[in-house]
Amino acid sequence: MKKIAINLHPQDKESLKLVAAFIKISHAKGFNVVIPDYALLHDDFADYIANHEDYINADAAIAIGGDGTFIRTARMFAAGSVPILGVNRGRLGFLTEFLPQEALDFFNELASNTYTVSQRKMLKANIIRNQHQFAAIDFLNDAVITKGSFSRPIRIRLELNNEFVNCYAGDGLIIATATGSTAYSLSAGGPIVLPDDESVFVVNPVCPHTLAIRPMVVPDSMVLSARVVTSIENLLLTIDGQEAIALQDTDVIHFSRSVHVIQVINHPSRRYFDVLRQKLGWGANNEVE
């Protein structure tokens, strides 16, 4: 390992001491450190700012913040399968498993490559406009088709491998990976899919107008096609809660498995169900030893 990339929330000035600590320990190990230009929060780090091409050409990445920062980091390093260590300075922290001091204590394992990783598959949203590809975007958590400020429902026609499934009427549609099943989809009544089974994704209607409509778990070997059949303005496709694309009423979005896989560095002792119990409050009143 020669180069470590550090990413942080550009407004989180409280994380600068932690960044400085990582830089100090990295130098002690003989590693170079790079920081993206949008995260320059203090002149002391000016020497570590790198352009995008240099930044993503790292051997490992450290994401300091919440799950949003981790997802932003993952999307930047997806093509290179760079292992990412998530340091939690947010709220939930499903992906940022390490507390700040734990991450510093773990640095020897990071430096010597004696850690384990979990592989998290991504999905791809391929937007077809006027029979041509308009955009193709990979996502780690979810993609959401939603309306603007109008209160009336929208209808979304769904097909799986070109076979008609249904027309959903409601406020929108969530397409969530197994990783993203504990995010917006869970809040909308969707199932939790264990990250060990990354061969499926969740199709979850938002506030459907028919009680019989329920979320579906779909093999990622299939292609889901979605088209809004209601004539309405301000349609959006939101990617990982970080990127919004204005849709036209003739657009078709194909959701399929991405070629990219995210390498998440595992906490040495904290497991997935530990995170669920802590973050979701499972068993808070009836702990079983």
Other C-beta atoms closer than 10 Å to the C-beta of 27 total: 11
Active-site residues, by number, are: 67
Task: Tell me how many degrees the CA angle 188-198-158 measures, rounded to the nearest 5.
Answer: 50
Question: Alpha helix locations (H) across the chain?
Answer: 16-28, 52-56, 67-77, 100-105, 107-111, 184-187, 272-280
Which positions ≥6 away from 289 have C-beta within 8 Å? none
In the 8-state DSSP scheme, what is residue 181? G
Q: Tell me how far apart the alpha carbons of residues 141 and 138 are, in angstroms, rounded to a whole number.
A: 10
Q: Tell me how far apart the alpha carbons of residues 246 and 275 are, in angstroms, rounded to a whole number.
A: 35
Q: Tell me how far apart the alpha carbons of residues 140 and 71 are, in angstroms, rounded to a whole number.
A: 7
Which positions ≥6 away from 158 have C-beta within 8 Å? 164, 165, 166, 167, 168, 173, 203, 224, 225, 226
DSSP for 1-36, written as a single string? --EEEEEE-TT-GGGHHHHHHHHHHHHHTT-EEEEE
Chain Cα centroid distance, residue 146: 18
